[in-house]
Structure 1
Amino acid sequence: MPRIDFTDLPASARQAVTLHTGPVRTISPAQAGRNSAVAAVLATASGPVFVKGIPSDHPQVVSQQREVIIAPHLPSLAPRLLWHEEVGGWSLVAWEAVAGCHADYRVPADLHLVQAAMGDVQGVQAPQGVQLKTAVERWGPYADEGAAAAFDGDVLLHTEWAPDNVLVAGRQVRLVDWAWPTRGAGWIDPYLWALRLMEAGHSAASAVAWACELTSWRDGDPAEILSFGVAVARVWHEVASADPSGWKLHMALQAAELRAYLALEPGQAGC
């Protein structure tokens, strides 16, 4: 999504922000992420605030609304939701501004920290009474017949483990951008993380070795995990076919390679 500066928002939208924060002293546009038209850390009289926004009539505004709905149920490593406004034709959301650098999936120290953080997130159950997409709904249409039922579960999944969404500060990890919270089997997040490790340069064997450190993966049925891999590879093939940009083609290739690796003879691709 094309980015605009915070100062290019309509006056009514900027005024709505300052009613919450007081005067804005400086604006630091976010460099990462693709899903918001406005994304910036504002230094304000009440402290730093991360504000992002999407035009209210944009189809992608639904993902931002999902973040607002799930915010009260997120684990402590997620930033706190401060406020949400619909004003001037914009949907604006403010979050606690968290410090840190994006995780480097080539650095073992970062990988160990992210692995531990994922283990903590895996202990969070999806909240009852909150309308969430299920893993069966998201990936079931791409699964082989009869395979999608294995994706079901009660874990609250983040599902977007790109390093842009993982901030590391010292020994602490903060997980941001909960635009795709999903209810499903616990091993799904480790699988999607493994795919991002491959995007960063890991082999399939290396990525699976890191995933194997997660209890949910070790306890998962290898055949069910493979069936999920088949569905994920089909999703990325469809995405890359519709928009053959470089990173999407790369993800499609990695998804196909991970699926192929897990389809090796039993014992060769497991933990």
Structure 2
Amino acid sequence: MTVRPQWDDLPGGVRDTVQARIGQILKAEPVTRGLMPGIAARLHTEDGGTVFLKAVSGGSPAASLYARERRAGALLPPGLPAPRLLWSGDVEGWIVLLHEYVDGRDADLSPGSPDVPLVLDTLMVLNETLTPCPGRDGIPDVAENVAMLQAKAAHLLALPAGDLPYRAMYETALRGFHPDALGGDTLLHYDLHAGNLRIGHGQPYAIDWAFAARGAAWIDVVMLAPRFVAAGHTPEQAEALLARVPAWRSAPEGAVTALAALWTLFRLYKARFGPEEGREFRARAAEAGQAWVRHRT
């Protein structure tokens, strides 16, 4: 299992810079959830405040994602249900981000949960507030994100006959798809799920914007469907919930089905070939995605 570096592992100059910004750190609580490389910690300051620290070496493969999250944080307008980026910098070869800390819990997306309508309301707020996209520099088109899904899907579809269950279903779902169908001018989170929808102060906050991209508003809505299925909803129930969000009703049927297939194939790939610590999690997600694609095809 990958061992994450901790606050004390940061170069002294990085720790000094952070403390010059927010005050003496009395305690650093590691945050171990999530698969993103780098340091994640809740910092307790001498004045009783708390700040969320993320930092990664500039030589890490994840550095570009930290840079993207920094750019997204600078663009998110005040009042949006997302933690504010308080400060960011490049210090001694490290990318450092300081966010507001949202003290809360993961959203409960299961049937009957009171969090579900709150999440749907938050989706609408994100769609409305972030259209048009508040900035373009440093925010890639969503086709760049989807290209990674397509590459992993192509790998699985090229396996010998019998190695990929439901191959014909996926091929049908992807027939005629082109990434241009995903184009739009909304700043997307792109990775909304229960762990990235933090319930604090009675409402969900969208955290971890490392995959932020510009594209059609319906994409963030659509990519929550398998999360609802994984939480216990049937595919029909998940789509009925999402139909309350206006952006869902504008989504082209064929593009939705293709994105569902790509999302699922990516998780199937990671469940087979990805890091050991994430395989079980990805397999469960792929099972939910597969049920959704079956429903749509």
* Shared fold per TM-score greater than 0.5: yes
Residue number in structure 1 paired with 2:69: 67
**Pair 1:135 & 2:142 matched:** yes
Contact map agreement 2:270 2:282 (CA 8 A) in 1: yes
Task: Measure, in 1, the Cα distance between the counterparts of 2:51 and 2:100.
Answer: 6
* 1:227 Cα deviation after fit: 2.5
Contact map agreement 1:41 1:97 (CA 8 A) in 2: yes
Contact map agreement 2:184 2:214 (CA 8 A) in 1: yes
Task: Measure, in 2, the Cα distance between the counterparts of 1:5 and 1:226.
Answer: 41
**Pair 1:111 & 2:116 matched:** yes
**Pair 1:121 & 2:126 matched:** yes
Task: Measure, in 2, the Cα distance between the counterparts of 1:254 and 1:50.
Answer: 31
Contact map agreement 2:88 2:95 (CA 8 A) in 1: yes
* 1:193 Cα deviation after fit: 0.9
**Pair 1:261 & 2:295 matched:** yes
Residue number in structure 2 paired with 1:151: 182
Residue number in structure 2 paired with 1:219: 250
Cα 1:170–1:95 shift into 2, 3 Å: closer
Task: Measure, in 1, the Cα distance between the counterparts of 2:92 and 2:144.
Answer: 34
Task: Measure, in 1, the Cα distance between the counterparts of 2:246 and 2:73.
Answer: 25
Task: Measure, in 2, the Cα distance between the counterparts of 1:23 and 1:40.
Answer: 15
Residue number in structure 2 paired with 1:92: 96
Residue number in structure 1 paired with 2:153: none
Residue number in structure 1 paired with 2:282: 248
Deviations 1:238-264 (A, max 9, x none): 33332271111222222222112112x
Task: Measure, in 1, the Cα distance between the counterparts of 2:38 and 2:146.
Answer: 27
Residue number in structure 2 paired with 1:268: none
Deviations 1:122-158 (A, max 9, x none): 1112234423222233225735445322111111111
* 1:174 Cα deviation after fit: 1.2
* 1:60 Cα deviation after fit: 0.6
TM-score by length of 2: 0.81
Structure 1 residues not aligned, in runs of 5+: 264-271
Contact map agreement 2:68 2:138 (CA 8 A) in 1: no
Deviations 1:172-195 (A, max 9, x none): 221110001111112211111111
Aligned length: 263
**Pair 1:80 & 2:84 matched:** yes
- Give the 3-state SS of the residue equivalent to 1:40 in structure 2: strand
Contact map agreement 1:2 1:37 (CA 8 A) in 2: no
* 1:45 Cα deviation after fit: 3.3
Q: Which deviates further from its counterpart, 203-212 or 157-166? A: 203-212
- Give the 3-state SS of the residue equivalent to 1:160 in structure 2: coil
Q: Which runs of 4+ in 1 moved over 4 A?
A: none
* 1:63 Cα deviation after fit: 0.6
Task: Measure, in 2, the Cα distance between the counterparts of 1:189 and 1:40.
Answer: 27
| Pick aligned residue for 1:238 from 269, 272, 275 | 269
Cα 1:26–1:67 shift into 2, 3 Å: same
**Higher RCO (CA < 8 A, seq sep 6+):** 2
- Give the 3-state SS of the residue equivalent to 1:122 in structure 2: helix
Task: Measure, in 1, the Cα distance between the counterparts of 2:201 and 2:91.
Answer: 37
Residue number in structure 2 paired with 1:266: none
Cα 1:138–1:26 shift into 2, 3 Å: closer
Identity %: 26
* 1:30 Cα deviation after fit: 1.9
